Amino acid sequence: MDIQENQLKKSFKITFIIPSVLIGKRAAERVSGCTYTIYPVPNIYELTVVTVIEKNGFEVDYVDSVLNNWKEKDFVDFIKKDQSNIYSIWAVNLSKENDLVAHSIIRKLKPTIPIIFMGPAPTFFIDEFLPDESTYIVRGEPEYTTLELIQGFSRNLDVSNIKGISFKKDGKVINSPSREPISNLDSLPFPARHLINKNKYHNPKLKNSPYTPVVTSRNCPHQCIYCVPSSLTFAREIEFKRDHGRKPPVRLRSAENVIEELKILKEQGYKSISFQDDLFIQSKERTKKICSALKELDFVWGCQSRADKLDEEIVKTMADSGCKYVDIGVESFDQKILDYVKKGTTVETNVKAIKLLKKYGIAAKINVLFGTSPLETKETIDNTYKMIRELDADQVMFNIVSPFPGTEFYNIVRDNDWFIDGDYKSVDVQKRAITSFPNLSKEEMEKAVFIGNLKFYLSPKFIIRNITKFQTYGDFYTSLKGLYRKLLP
């Protein structure tokens, strides 16, 4: 029986696929989930699901059509020739329309094959992602739900009682009970990096290649009303809020488990790491242990953090262990706006953190969000420009807030009728606004981002400081491409 079971699994193939760009001009970035791709990032969340399936004996494939630069014809040709039993697509809000087109292409070519959607977009937009009765949604955390679903398909069993799925039966959408969040992240295997070509991924913020993202936790304990966390965290959050009305508990991998993964990455030839946690520094002692290993293994790395987690002790420890950048969600230099969005930080704290990073030679990458509040005005925007100039930030990402469905800010904007077209729609948050406030119009927010990029990236100080940092033509080209996309109308 075991031999038959193993043979059955090995003859049952699941392909996890990132579809080509089928509509529009740019691919959605599926790890952060709230921007369009500038440089490719392997979907570390999806690759963890792949490992779970592979370790249970099934044949798997991981296909990144965007990285392969496939056009629609290439995507169609692949589906025609491929012999998979199931396709799985990780969908985020910005990829929603594109992924539904991909679904229709697959369905036209293979009318009854099961297609699985997972990620924040299908977790929220359940009805829209279920056009037929051979399509299934894995809501929230996907690892074990996906495994049970595939096990059921491979044995031709009834899957309707699996927790955390949605599907259609007799034309009606069925939502099974939610699955509780995974309590022990150390129980999960490491992502299936052996299925990707590590030499195709380069993070311009980390000059040493090959690089890989690493995730050591899930969720952030803070309550920012606009926050669109990483795509897995967002799916987890949407699902948990639906049942409990609050964010799910934060889960941390142990330092020992993280260090075990770092040692494997070193053996595999990786040289740099970006920690994709929504908040990397959640425990100072845990962070110190991880930093010690990063130093010993000679990695260069970067992470995301809140300003109030960056005291002198931890910043010095990070600098000594090879940290090259920290992304800080400053959002605004106006205290009333920070209070409105429940940021839980102060302008003074943000300024102090940026100065500390610069003191220890860590690049301060500041994230600014225009339009997070009806309190935003041309005066608060001008003050943000002024503070950025005075602080001499290393890099700034200017965005316009997009009230994503599933956030508290979405409800506020909808209830106050601040959406331009009545509701959310997918746009490039580095260029386009979908809201208008009493004190600030859509056009003024879009102009604010454009002017911010001009002031910062075309300033003589920024150009002189960065022109000497390019190690290769590829570095220079990536930076130019990023600037072009920021400034292109």
> What are the structural domains of the chain?
2-175 (3.40.50.2300), 185-487 (3.80.30.20)
486 has a pLDDT exceeding 70: no
Burial of 316 (0-12, 13-18, 19+ CB in 10 A): middle
303 has a pLDDT exceeding 60: yes
Q: What is the pLDDT of residues 368-391, one digit of tens each?
A: 999 999 999 999 999 999 999 999
Computed on alpha carbons and rounded to an integer, the radius of gyration of the chain in Å comes to 22
Please list the residues that pair with 273 across neighbouring strands: 212, 301
Dist. CA 36–CA 243, nearest whole Å: 30
**479 with 204: CB under 8 angstroms?**
yes
Other C-beta atoms closer than 10 Å to the C-beta of 292 total 15
Identify the pLDDT of residue 3: 53
207 has a pLDDT exceeding 90: no
3 state SS of 476: helix
Dist. CA 64–CA 43, nearest whole Å: 9
Helices within 268-346 (DSSP H only): 284-297, 312-320, 335-340
Range of lowest pLDDT (88-92, 210-214, 216-220, 461-465): 461-465
Across 215-237, average pLDDT: 94
**341 with 225: CB under 8 angstroms?**
yes
Q: What is the pLDDT of residues 84-114, one digit of tens each?
A: 999 999 999 999 999 999 999 999 999 999 9
Q: What is the pLDDT of residues 387-427, one digit of tens each?
A: 999 999 899 999 999 999 999 999 999 999 999 999 998 88
**153 with 85: CB under 8 angstroms?**
yes
Across 362-373, average pLDDT: 95
Q: What pTM was estimated for this model as a whole? A: 0.92
Identify the pLDDT of residue 480: 59
Dist. CA 296–CA 61, nearest whole Å: 34
Q: What is the pLDDT of residues 310-349, one digit of tens each?
A: 999 999 999 999 999 999 999 999 999 999 999 999 999 9
Identify the pLDDT of residue 472: 57
Burial of 339 (0-12, 13-18, 19+ CB in 10 A): middle
* Torsion sign over Cα 87, 89, 95, 97: positive
Helix, strand and coil content of the chain, in percent to the nearest 5, comes to 45, 15, 40
Q: What is the pLDDT of residues 233-271, one digit of tens each?
A: 999 999 999 999 999 999 999 999 999 999 999 999 999
Q: How sure is the predictor about 465, in pLDDT bands with cuts at 50, 70 and 90?
A: confident
467 has a pLDDT exceeding 50: yes
On average, the pLDDT of the chain sits at: 93
- Residue 345: both structure tokens together: 């930080």
